[in-house]
Structure 1
């Protein structure tokens, strides 16, 4: 398979994708996921693609001569003139310079004082080699951990005066967002969620309020912490197939510790452990045998908690960065 023109000249930039282009990009991501064993695009990106959300996003496409989409990059501005990028190239069209062309095009769209942040899902060696060539450096590592739910699972022990209940869509939205912002104040993605981000997920076919557990103060009803669980692997009309994480694993359904947070004012009560265990019991009671979660390698406290609860490293995602003054990419 050969290309008929330089890869760089085949990158097109769009502010918005047509429905057929969205479908083509999601299909491309599905093929790459099946080949690599990891989703090439994050949930954040796939949600916005499927929901056709209007936002200041740039889409880069590469098409093969017959017109099929074989390469894609999603560029989104962040605070401080930074640009976040995620990209995918069809497995049959790799080693032809398409990944380099997409990253180079992304670099050209970064403001002069900004920086490009590129996620490499599953830490593929070719991504590391490309990053080295283009002067990008590792800046963050996100681990996916997994645990069997067939292994012994301790019972959760809630502090006195604290009760668990299910999330109530519409009634708990603002209170949950406030605690989420406080719990993830220093987190580069989670702490930025607003009402639109929350409602995008509440509208997803996988959402189940019974698996969105809230720890509340019995005397006042004040929200102290939460464990939002998720199940990958069900077939839905929206997806037309298994959830990406289950598809990439090549096996049946898998649960996820989707978001777990505790209000800083409630630290030291053991809520993190209790909420984690409550969510794991919920997933096991649904008949699931495996569970996964994502955690920053730099979050040593969370890594220690999950390790004590039987989680082990499964795969890692790496974010690369190029700031102003970094080595220029080769001509």
Structure 2
């Protein structure tokens, strides 16, 4: 079978494969390479058990990562293949292997995100998956970012040493109960805040006095035009919702990305999130595509 379990001996080749699928120049290649290498080291991932590699004639042509989110009884399967095996029996074997591992985790459901222009949805449906959610890809590329004055009594600041408990608290408060969100541990947050695609300056908090009201976590990703800024996570804590604060924390995150020379800023938003879509559209973001989440519920859970 062309699908094998990941071993540390494959690390260098697998990292290079992932980078080759996304990095179109040296700068992007290095961003992809270092970021995915860090992904393999995430706390709790255990890639030797939860990563599968598709090899064809001795060359890596695909990989699947299975993330366990036991607190919400969910697994997330991430699949990447080169164009050649897309839709082939080899790709199907890779996905089946990942689904089998997800089911073995004892969770209730597995989710897979299908990016734009992919035919993987048909394969997933043949394996018992069904459409669950649609997320919109949105892009901002205006010439300038208008100034926006903070409400009286509010301030913004970036992540400082010792802020890991604060970031964990704010993120979990802002998103617990949202579709697909699994509460994070401080260990997970500390690790992700140190990954190559992010920076401490790009994690911005909104405060009223000394009380945290929300945050924006920005990252960098590869794109056709070079590194692109991304609004990775943005949220307002429950007690501060309904006051129009999302616009201010979004602006703070975008301002940081512009300050480091990133002309394009992207984000993903649940198409069911009407307030979010309105906010981003009114800020100048344009819809550029859709990502479809597929779901398989495991029997007996």
Q: What is the TM-score of this pair, normalised by structure 1?
A: 0.76
Shift of 1:316: 2.4
Q: Distance in 1 between matches of 2:266 and 2:129?
A: 29
- 1:220-235 aligned at under 5 Å gives the runs 221-230=210-219, 232=220
Retained in 2: the 8 A contact 1:71–1:98?
no
Give a deviation string over 1:96-149, Cα, whole Å, max 9, x none.
41111112223333148733322222251x212212322311112222210113
Q: Secondary structure at the match of 2:20?
A: helix
Q: Distance in 1 between matches of 2:107 and 2:254?
A: 44
| Alignment of 1:108 onto 2:100 | yes
Q: Distance in 2 between matches of 1:53 and 1:162?
A: 35
Shift of 1:63: 1.6
User: Where does structure 2 lack aligned partners over 5 or more consecutive residues?
Assistant: 25-31
Q: Distance in 2 between matches of 1:215 and 1:322?
A: 37
Q: Distance in 2 between matches of 1:252 and 1:165?
A: 27
Retained in 1: the 8 A contact 2:114–2:120?
yes
Q: Distance in 2 between matches of 1:267 and 1:87?
A: 35
2:270 aligns with: 296
Q: Distance in 1 between matches of 2:108 and 2:197?
A: 36
Give a deviation string over 1:158-187, Cα, whole Å, max 9, x none.
2221112222121x2212211211110123
C-alpha distance 115-177 of structure 1, shift in aligned 2 (>3 A): closer
Max Rg structure? 1
Q: Distance in 2 between matches of 1:206 and 1:48?
A: 10
Q: Alignment partner for residue 87 of structure 1, among 79, 103, 107?
A: 79
Retained in 2: the 8 A contact 1:142–1:318?
yes
Q: Distance in 2 between matches of 1:183 and 1:300?
A: 17
1:164 aligns with: 156
| Alignment of 1:192 onto 2:166 | no
Give a deviation string over 1:294-317, Cα, whole Å, max 9, x none.
222222211111111111112322
Q: What is the TM-score of this pair, normalised by structure 2?
A: 0.83
| Alignment of 1:309 onto 2:283 | yes
Shift of 1:88: 1.9
Give a deviation string over 1:17-72, Cα, whole Å, max 9, x none.
30x4122222222333369xxxxxx99x936544264535522222223x222221
Retained in 2: the 8 A contact 1:174–1:195?
yes
- 1:174-323 aligned at under 5 Å gives the runs 174-188=165-179, 190-218=181-209, 221-230=210-219, 232=220, 245-246=221-222, 249-323=223-297
C-alpha distance 55-280 of structure 1, shift in aligned 2 (>3 A): closer
**Count of aligned residue pairs for this structure pair:** 287
User: Where does structure 1 lack aligned partners over 5 or more consecutive residues?
Assistant: 1-8, 36-41, 233-244, 326-331
Give a deviation string over 1:231-265, Cα, whole Å, max 9, x none.
x3xxxxxxxxxxxx32xx22133222222111111
1:58 aligns with: 50
Retained in 2: the 8 A contact 1:22–1:49?
no
